[in-house]
Every structure is written in C-alpha cells, then in structure tokens.
C-alpha cells in the first residue's frame, strides 16, 4: 500500500514556521514508516469563496487532488505539529482504511482532564475579555455553532487524521461545498462541520490521544500558571520545561492556536541540545 503525509503551508509566515520547526521531524517520521511527504504551498481552491474563509477548509480537498489517486491512505497533519520521532508509532497500524481515523477532541488526554482544561481556559479568557464559544460538552460544541447534532456525541479533532481517496472523497467534498465559515476563528473553521458529518455517518475510528496532543489544552490542564508568564526569562524557562514534558508524552505535539509556544519550544530545544 502507498501512503502519504500531506499538509498545507501557504504564505511566507507558515512556510518559514513549517520548514524551520516541523519539517525535519516529519521527514524522519515518513522515512521510519515509508510514507511519502507532500507539502502543498499553494491553495487547492482559489475561488472568491475559498479566499473569503480560512485555508483550513482546504484540507477537505486533499482527496480531490491529482496526487491523491496514487495513494491508498492520506494522512493529514496541520502544519503546526512537531513529531516526537523517538516515541511516535505508526498512525496507520490497525487503522481500517474505510474509516477516517483520528482523535476524539474530548478525550485529550482524557474526558475528565479535558473538561478541567476547558474550564480553566474559560476562566482565563473571561478574565482577559477574550472572545470564545462555550465548548464544555460535544453537544454544546455543535449547537453553539448552529449545528443540530442530535445523537452525535463525539468531536473529531481535525488537525490529525487518516483518510482514503476511495472511501472519503465524496463526503469531504460535500462538507467543503455545503458548509460555510460563519463565525470566524471561534467557529474552529472546518472542524465542526467536518466532525459532525463524519461522526454522524459512522466514518470515524478513534485512535489514541498521543497522536494529537493539543498543547494549549495540556497547558491549561497541568500548567495554567504559564498563561501569565510571558516576559521574564524565568517564565521562558518554565514554559520550555512544561513544553518538554508535554513533548515527552506526545507522538504528535499539536500547537493549535499557540504558534508562539511552538517557536519558543523549538528554539530552546535547539539551544538545550547544543
């Protein structure tokens, strides 16, 4: 079987971030498990509608590209991920090709700790007048974004997943062309619509949380004091120590919404190794 890891790094900022911080660990991972690596640097869709919303939606078009027909499985990773190549296992091991395999967002790292993490984030955001949408449960996640979820009670974290051109192209295109990005960043872009349709139609297969360790969630669960240590050198060292602990627990360390931590971690890890 031929398999590929695919991402989208569009614009100077994201190309630099990916190439300087993430690429080397991805290349090592792909070599370890005999995957091709495809880094798209141009949008798949450049229509006015596509340009009016986040490029994150374009991950739904990866199975519609000419290159996808060459592969049995496509593994999508958001570009803001560092792979712990010493620990990371094969994401496709025992993964059924007919399913979209990913991590349940409400089980990172467990359902109880995920709730604790969200509660702490909300307290911090309230205190700092940061706009957000309440996500304390999967049903709230959907309902507060205008999706009548019915019996759907899980949420796919769409920064990491495997999929199949043969099995999933049609539903990916359906989500892309049917749903709109109505609320901005708080909507989580494509994630509510994509998750809802895949879970509702029984396309999801849950893999272990180590494949999508969301850094901000781990910080709010275990290191909430770091939200307030942005300036002192001692604060930088504390952040690095916490991030290194999170990295050690990860297969894929996902810096969703906290790219500043990604740059800090990479620079201090390099300094530490030297």
Q: What is the pLDDT of residue 163?
A: 98
Q: What is the pLDDT of residue 232?
A: 44
Q: What is the pLDDT of residue 228?
A: 65
CA 107 – CA 114 distance, rounded (Å): 6
Tell whether pTM > 0.85: yes
Residue with tokens 């706009």: 131
Q: What is the pLDDT of residue 233?
A: 52
Locate the domains of the chain by residue range.
3-273
Q: What is the pLDDT of residue 257?
A: 86
Q: What is the pLDDT of residue 140?
A: 95
Per-residue pLDDT of the chain (274 residues; tens, 9 = 90+): 899 999 999 989 899 999 999 999 999 999 999 999 999 999 999 999 999 999 999 999 999 999 999 999 999 999 999 999 999 999 999 999 999 999 999 999 999 999 999 999 999 889 989 888 889 999 999 999 999 999 899 999 999 999 999 999 999 999 999 999 876 677 899 999 999 999 999 999 999 999 999 999 999 999 888 776 544 455 677 888 899 999 999 999 999 988 888 988 888 887 766 5
Residue with tokens 């619509």: 193
- Phi, psi values for residue 40, rounded to 5°: -80, 130
CA angle 171-175-176, nearest 5°? 115
- Among 184, 248, 188, which Cα is nearest to 218's? 248
Range 3-273 classified under CATH 3.90.550.10: yes
């Amino acid at each position: 079987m031929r398999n590929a890891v695919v991402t989208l790094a569009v614009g100077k900022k994201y190309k630099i971030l990916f190439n300087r911080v993430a690429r080397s660990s991805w290349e090592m991972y792909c070599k370890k498990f005999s995957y091709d690596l495809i880094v798209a640097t141009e949008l798949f869709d450049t229509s006015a509608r596509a340009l009016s919303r986040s490029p994150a939606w374009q991950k739904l078009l990866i199975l519609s590209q000419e290159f996808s027909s060459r592969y049995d499985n496509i593994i999508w990773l958001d570009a803001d991920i560092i792979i712990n190549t010493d620990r990371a296992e094969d994401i496709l091991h025992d993964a059924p090709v007919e399913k979209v395999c990913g991590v349940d967002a409400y089980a990172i790292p467990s359902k109880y700790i995920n709730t604790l993490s969200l509660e702490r984030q909300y307290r911090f955001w309230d205190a700092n007048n940061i706009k957000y949408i309440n996500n304390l449960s999967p049903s709230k996640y959907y309902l507060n974004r205008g999706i009548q979820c019915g019996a759907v009670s899980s949420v796919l974290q769409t920064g990491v997943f495997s999929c199949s051109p043969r099995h999933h192209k049609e539903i990916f295109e359906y989500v892309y062309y049917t749903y709109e990005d109505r609320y901005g960043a708080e909507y989580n872009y494509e994630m509510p619509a994509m998750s809802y349709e895949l879970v509702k139609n029984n396309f999801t297969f849950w893999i272990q949380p180590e494949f999508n360790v969301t850094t901000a969630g781990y910080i709010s669960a275990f290191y909430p004091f770091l939200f307030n240590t942005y300036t002192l050198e001692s604060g930088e060292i504390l952040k690095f120590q916490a991030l290194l602990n999170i990295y050690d627990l990860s297969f894929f360390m996902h810096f969703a919404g906290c790219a500043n931590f990604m740059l800090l971690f990479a620079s201090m890890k390099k300094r530490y190794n030297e």
